[in-house]
Chains A and B, each alone.
Chain A
């Protein structure tokens, strides 16, 4: 069964550092998403991506964040100058226009 793959599963970084979270969406999907879940809180939408550009973003997705599809298979989320409050589980998702399928998540810990 096709699945969304995220790496790494857990990343620890120092405050102020840049991190790149990686995702490999399901191969024939066209829509890609990043979501965030702070510990104990609900899943929050960050950004959606279609046709090589951002199609929608939330208030959370400020200039600190960027997304990229550097090749035909990967979809990345870059967080510049990380802050303590960026510590969360980050989920990548993809869809073919129907249901969204989620990866297992990357737990980001900023220390």
Chain B
């Protein structure tokens, strides 16, 4: 069955430290990959996406993610975390964006806390 796994439920990093959030997927083919962020009481905001091409993609707020086909992973990184990055982060995949109404499948999320 198709699945998205975010192994870390909760991560705490110090402000200014680097961050890596893990995401693994289970599909037969390469899916379309996304990272969304949800701040407390807010909706989901798209951070970045991977469709094809360069496996290192840049997003908003200084985030980047790297697609590794051999590991079925799409890990999110940021070199220096700011206190405002504290939020819930969701990895999501879609099998196809050409078929009408293809759903996004979300991981369970990783809660990021930032300590001073």
Chain A 1-42 interface 0/1 with B at a Cβ cutoff of 8 Å (1 = within)? 000101000000000000000000000001101010000011
Q: How far is the CB of A9 from chain B (nearest CB, A)?
A: 9
B63 at the interface (CB under 8 A from A): no
Point out the residue from B99, B104, B107, B109 that lies within 8 Å of A100, measured CB to CB: B104
CB of A6 to closest CB in B, whole Å = 8
* A interface residue count range (under 10 / 10 to 19 / 20 to 34 / 35 or more): 20 to 34
**Residues in B70-90 with C-beta less than 8 Å from chain A:** 90
Q: Are B34 and A102 in contact, CB atoms less than 8 angstroms apart?
A: no
Whether A97 contacts B105 by the Cβ 8 Å rule is no
**Cross-chain contact of A105 among B43, B100, B103, B105 (Cβ < 8 A):** B43
Distance in Å: Cβ of A76 to nearest Cβ of chain B? 16
Chain A residues packing against B (C-beta within 8 Å): 4, 6, 30-31, 33, 35, 41-45, 48-51, 54-56, 58, 91, 93, 95, 97-105
**Chain B interface residues (CB < 8 Å from chain A):** 34, 36, 42-46, 49, 90, 97-109
- A sample of 9 more A-B contacts (CB under 8 A), given A33-B104, A100-B46, is A31-B100, A41-B108, A43-B106, A50-B101, A51-B100, A98-B97, A104-B42, A104-B43, A105-B42
